[in-house]
Amino acid sequence: MTLLKLDNLKVHFPIRGGFFRRVVDHVKAVDGVSFELQQGETYGLVGESGSGKSTTGKAVVKLNEVTSGQILFEGRDLASLSRREIKPFRKDIQMIFQDPYSSLNPKKRVLDIIAEPLRNFERLSPSEEKKIVQDFLDKVGLSPESIHKYPHEFSGGQRQRIGIARSLTLKPKLIIADEPVSALDVSVQAQVLNFLQDLQQEFNLTYLFVGHDLGVIRHMCDRMGVMYRGRLVEEGKSEEIYENPQHIYTKRLIAAIPDLEPEVREDKVQLRKKLTSEYESTYSKYFDENGRAYDLKPISSTHRVALQ
C-alpha cells in the first residue's frame, strides 16, 4: 500500500536583489522529485550537502512552502492544504530533527516536551498524560525521574531519544527522520538506529530517512533515492544501488565510502581516479547542458536511473 507519494515536487526559494528587492532568481532546492513510500518500509534519501534532501523532508511536514507538485498522503494532497486543513494530518506525520541540541526547548521539562503533541490533539488528565509520557520514556530507555529534568541535563544521545519519544506519542504512521544520528558520535549512532528499527517493528512505522552517511542508510533502508542538486539521479532497492550503481554520481558517491581494509586502499584510489575520468568524459550522458540531471528512467522493475 502506498502511504506517501511525491509527484514532481518542487521547492524553489526566491533570491531577492536590486533596489526594490525584486525576485531576481530562484534557488531550485528541490526540482521535480517523485517517489513513493510503501507502508512499513524505510526509504532513504542520500546526497551531498545542499542536494535538497532535507528540504524534501521538511516540505512533507510543511516546514517549507511547496512551489509546485503534489505530496499525496493516503491519497490526499498535502501540498494544496492550508495550515488549518493540515492539522489532522500532523498526527500521522511526525518528524525527528537533526540537531538534538536545538530541537528541544531549553526552558521546558521533559514532561512538557513529550506531552506537547498530546496536549494539542487529545484531552487528557494530567495523570493520564504523565502515564503516557512515562511509558514512552521507558520505551526509549530513559529513567522515570528524567520526566522533571531539563534538556541540558542530558547527553546528545539521550536528547535525541527524547525527540524520538516526542514524535511517537501520537502514534504516527510516517516519521520523517532528518539525519537523526549525524550529530551523535558513532557508538550512540548504532544504539539510536537499532532502536529506531525496533520501534518500526513495534508500531509498524514508515520512515523517510534523510541522511548523508551511506553506511547508515544501507543499514536502515529497504529502498533509497540518491539526490543531486535538487533532483533524484537514481532510485531503487538499497542492494541494487550499492551493488550495481548506474548513475555516475552514485558510483562516485559509493566509491567515496572509506574502506577499513588497508590492502584495498590502493585499489580504491585507482577506482576513484577511474571514476573521475569517466565522470569527465561521460558528463553529457548524465547531465544536460544546464548541469541538470535527466528524468528518471526505469532500467528494471525496481531500479530507476536518470539517463539521457
Partner 1 sequence: MKVETGKNIQVKDVSPSGIKIIWQEIKKDKLAMGSLIILAAILLFVYGASLFMDAKEIAKVDFLSIYMEPSSDYWLGTDYGGRDVFGQLIIGTRNSFTISLFITLFTAIIGLSLGLLAGYFGGATDNVIMRIIDFVIALPQLMFIIVVVTIVPIFNVYVFILIMTMFLWTGKARLIRSKALSERELDYIHASQTLGTPHWKIILFQLLPNVSSLIIVNFILNLAGNIGLESSLTFLGFGLPESTPSLGTLISYARNPDVLENKWWIWVPASLMILVLMLSINFVGQALKRAADARQRRG
Binding site for partner 1 (CB under 8 A): 58, 61-63, 87, 90-91, 93-95, 97-99, 102-109, 111-112, 116-117, 120-121, 144-145, 147-148, 150, 152, 163, 166
Q: Which residue number, 116 or 267, has a Cβ lying nearer to partner 1?
A: 116
CB of 126 to partner 1, least distance (A): 8
CA distances from 130 to 34, 118, 163 (A): 41, 10, 17
Q: Which residue number, 62 or 231, has a Cβ lying nearer to partner 1?
A: 62
CB of 273 to partner 1, least distance (A): 40
CB of 104 to partner 1, least distance (A): 6
Q: Which residues of 4-36 are buried (b: 16+ CB within 10 A; e: fewer)?
A: bbbbebbbbbeeeeeeeeeeeeeebbbbbbbbe
d(CA 154, CA 121): 27
Alpha-helical runs (H) found in 178-294 = 186-203, 214-220, 238-243, 248-255, 265-281, 283-286
Backbone angles phi, psi at 116, to 5 degrees: -55, -50
CB of 116 to partner 1, least distance (A): 6
Q: Which residue number, 49 or 277, has a Cβ lying nearer to partner 1?
A: 49
Q: Give the type of residue at 122.
A: E
Q: Which residue number, 123 or 152, has a Cβ lying nearer to partner 1?
A: 152
Q: Which residue number, 11 or 253, has a Cβ lying nearer to partner 1?
A: 11
CB of 150 to partner 1, least distance (A): 5
Q: Which residue number, 173 or 247, has a Cβ lying nearer to partner 1?
A: 173
CB of 284 to partner 1, least distance (A): 40
CB of 127 to partner 1, least distance (A): 10
Q: Give the type of residue at 272.
A: R
Q: Which residue number, 98 or 246, has a Cβ lying nearer to partner 1?
A: 98
Residue 291 exposed, middle or buried by CB count within 10 Å (0-12, 13-18, 19+): exposed
Cell numbers representing residue 208 in the block: 523517510
β-strand pairing of 22-38 with 76-77: unpaired
Whether the CB-CB separation of 97 and 178 falls below 8 Å is answered with: yes
